[in-house]
Structure 1
Amino acid sequence: MAYLLLLVGFVLLIKGADLFVDGSSNIARLLRVPPILIGLTIVAFGTSSPEATVSIIAAMEGSSDVSLGNVIGSNIFNLTLVVGIAAIIFPLKVENETIRKEIPFTLLAGGALLVVINDIFLQDHSNNLITRSDGLIFLLFLSVFMYYVIEVALKSRQDSQTEAIPDEIKWGKNIGLTILGLAGIVFGGELVVSNGTEIAYAVGMSETLVGLTIIAIGTSLPELVTSITAALKKQSDIALGNIVGSNIFNILFVLGASSVITPLSVSSKVGIDVVIMLLLTILLLVFSRTNFRVGKREGSVLAIFYVIYLVYIILRN
């Protein structure tokens, strides 16, 4: 039964992502804002819903390792395999604002996470902890990012008031498509995670390894499917905006909300994973500066890095 539900989950993910990309890209046209801003907000928040659900539930149940590992593992998966596969399918165009502001903001969020999880090293505490006050700081950072996105959106809207919108693009239809697609993504992601985890335990995988691989990959499937679908539709702005936005939401919203609910204890091993995440973000920034796009070659390198990371955590655990 678990295998059948896993298959149903994949079908819902794929069809949901297809509807979600169509609906959200048309909403961007109706709002007269660049598609990347929709990718950074509506699409990113929507595809981060599984991470938020899993991490918040894990925090409430006292499983802080699952909550933190899910976010970091998902972000690494997004930076490597999601960007990599999407770029291999169709080279991702990178806007100047993404290079100058959005990817650096992702680095800022990752750097802030590295600081708050190093209490033992920085403050001579007995253990590392993401406290409620740390979580509130993350949520404040998120509000600054949202202010920036809204300001850019309003400016872009003023600059594109003359663009003609085809009559067949209607508000009601596209809002409906976006909501329906999001429901498919979230429900499909939940089926994939729960049944994939059940299958993994049945074949003898350890709980730690399941958390770092199955749960992290499973909750990132919406980003993967949405970005691949956007790449196939040549909506590269949405593909890259989805990934950058999801990583920002994962750190600032998911960990912020989780730690406000209950402080999260941090394993000493996690620091290495956060450093790897930061290095991969820098690598994406470097790749983005080459002709303002991430091409097939860069995508292949990023995908290979994920395979190397996967082997590393399997051997480490």
Structure 2
Amino acid sequence: MLPASVGQARRMTMPATSLTSSLLIFALCAGVVWFSGARLAYLADTLSDRFKLAKSLVGLLLLSLATSLPEVATTLSAAINQAQNLVLNNLFGGIALQTAILGIADFWARGAITNYPRKANHALEATLLVLLLAITLIITTTGETVVVFQIGAGSVFIALTYAGTIWILRRYDGSSDWIPVDLPDTQDRPFLATADDDKTTNHALILQSVVACLAILVFGLLLVLFAERIAVQSGLGTSFIGVTLLAAATSLPELTTSITAARLGAYTMAISNIFGSNLIMLVLVFPADILYRGGPILQGASTTVSLALSFGIVVTAIYLTGLIVRRKPKVGVLGLDSVLVIVTFGASLLAYYYVR
């Protein structure tokens, strides 16, 4: 069940709906977010070409932030409503799911998607993500021992580590330590490209990107609202829903942008989009801790939270291995690392259900 304060807030802002209506509205909002996210990926790819920006940098800093807007709004809203479990399960439950999205995007790559990056910065992204996940897991396991103004020192340390991570990645982005692999960089652009796009001005493309971001934010928040409502109406509760349906709802922009990026051949942007989004999920703990007045938000975290962080480490480590091993076996059209990540994500759902 939702906390009373959250449930009351939802009832005041939205009219009552049946479970069937909630599911239909959820599906409608998902469709809008899907199209907006796909269009945003195309616009980001086009703008990166026009402004001569590295696609990995665009994915890490711009696309990941845009697709994380629903998570940002949901996290801060839940923290204001003092819904600790909803905040942590939504943030950390989405990490394994978003990483599994790369496995789904692998269906559209010509060869394993982790074969494509020409530089070691993606392996560095994965390494630093594992580091930040491990730090967060240690903090949640041991509990906050230093508290200042009801804010835990752990969340502050996570924020500082995130800032250092971004600084390192930006400095390293210009490196070319790895030898390029002879693989295609681009593919035919999908249906999202129109005949007039090549003639569209940069100003118009930026305006379209802003509109797409707003659509992702508004309809992404509606997805979250109805995911919470489905949690109550179905009787499954917010702990299980938080790491499954709610995490899936807020991760939908990452899904559509990553698949579209893979279809465009912008594989480095797809990978950085996912790793960048996962890093944002972790740093959001800090503002959530500021807004949560019940003490340090990481204190007394549930078993589900620790499981989510552990599975996040596992799936990221699998892709880190895939990025280092340049030529790897395939299972059908997927790289072996993608298959292992998808299987691990499936195992995580069973684990979440078991401890719910």
Q: TM-score with structure 1 length normalisation?
A: 0.85
Cα shift at 1:272: 3.2
Specify whether residues 3 and 271 from structure 1 end up closer, same or farther in structure 2 by C-alpha distance, changes over 3 A only.
closer
Question: Which residue, 196, 214, 218 being the options, matches 1:187?
Answer: 218
Cα shift at 1:169: 5.9
Question: Which residue, 52, 73, 93 being the options, matches 1:32?
Answer: 52
Q: Helix, strand or coil: the match of 2:236?
A: coil
Question: For 1:259-274, what aligned pairs fall within 5 Å after superposition?
Answer: 259-262=289-292, 263-264=296-297, 265-269=299-303, 270-274=305-309
Question: Which AA in structure 1 matches 2:325?
Answer: T
Q: Which residue of 2 aligns with 1:163?
A: none
CA distance in 1, matches of 2:168, 2:200: 28
**Computing the radius of gyration over CA atoms, which structure comes out larger, 1 or 2?**
2
Deviates more, 1:146-155 or 1:205-214: 146-155
Question: Which AA in structure 2 matches 1:109?
Answer: L
Question: Which AA in structure 2 matches 1:14?
Answer: W
Q: Which residue of 1 aligns with 2:353?
A: 314
8 Å Cα contact 1:75-1:277 kept in structure 2 = yes
Q: Which residue of 1 aligns with 2:67?
A: 47
Question: Which residue, 308, 312, 315 being the options, matches 1:280?
Answer: 315
Larger helix share, 1 or 2: 1
Cα shift at 1:39: 0.3
1:83 and 2:126 aligned: no
CA distance in 1, matches of 2:93, 2:329: 22
Aligned pairs, number? 301
CA distance in 1, matches of 2:268, 2:200: 20
Specify whether residues 185 and 61 from structure 1 end up closer, same or farther in structure 2 by C-alpha distance, changes over 3 A only.
same
8 Å Cα contact 2:123-2:323 kept in structure 1 = no
Specify whether residues 293 and 54 from structure 1 end up closer, same or farther in structure 2 by C-alpha distance, changes over 3 A only.
farther
Q: Which residue of 2 aligns with 1:161?
A: none
Q: Helix, strand or coil: the match of 1:306?
A: helix
Question: Which AA in structure 1 matches 2:270?
Answer: A
Cα shift at 1:275: 2.0
Cα shift at 1:119: 2.7
Per-residue displacement from partner, 1:149-175 (whole Å, max 9, x unpaired)? 54456889xxxxxxxxx9736320221
Q: Which residue of 1 aligns with 2:335?
A: 297
Cα shift at 1:222: 1.1
Q: Which residue of 2 aligns with 1:110?
A: 133
Per-residue displacement from partner, 1:278-299 (whole Å, max 9, x unpaired)? 1221111012222278961332
Question: Which AA in structure 1 matches 2:339?
Answer: S
Q: Which residue of 2 aligns with 1:138?
A: 158
8 Å Cα contact 2:94-2:247 kept in structure 1 = yes
Per-residue displacement from partner, 1:239-289 (whole Å, max 9, x unpaired)? 11110100111102x112111333203324122332222122111101222
Question: Which AA in structure 2 matches 1:290?
Answer: V
Identity of aligned residues (%): 19
CA distance in 1, matches of 2:163, 2:172: 14
Cα shift at 1:27: 2.1
Question: For 1:197-276, what aligned pairs fall within 5 Å after superposition?
Answer: 197-252=228-283, 254-262=284-292, 263-264=296-297, 265-269=299-303, 270-276=305-311
Question: Which AA in structure 2 matches 1:86?
Answer: A
The two structures, once aligned, show a CA RMSD in angstroms of: 2.7
8 Å Cα contact 1:76-1:306 kept in structure 2 = yes
Q: TM-score with structure 2 length normalisation?
A: 0.76
8 Å Cα contact 2:95-2:308 kept in structure 1 = no
8 Å Cα contact 1:103-1:285 kept in structure 2 = yes
8 Å Cα contact 1:99-1:289 kept in structure 2 = no
For structure 2, list consecutive stretches of 5 or more residues without a partner in the other structure: 1-20, 177-196
Question: Which residue, 21, 35, 39 being the options, matches 2:41?
Answer: 21
CA distance in 1, matches of 2:281, 2:327: 25
Q: Bigger relative contact order, structure 1 or 2, given CA contacts below 8 A and separation 6+?
A: 1
Question: Which AA in structure 1 matches 2:269?
Answer: I
Question: Which AA in structure 2 matches 1:119?
Answer: T
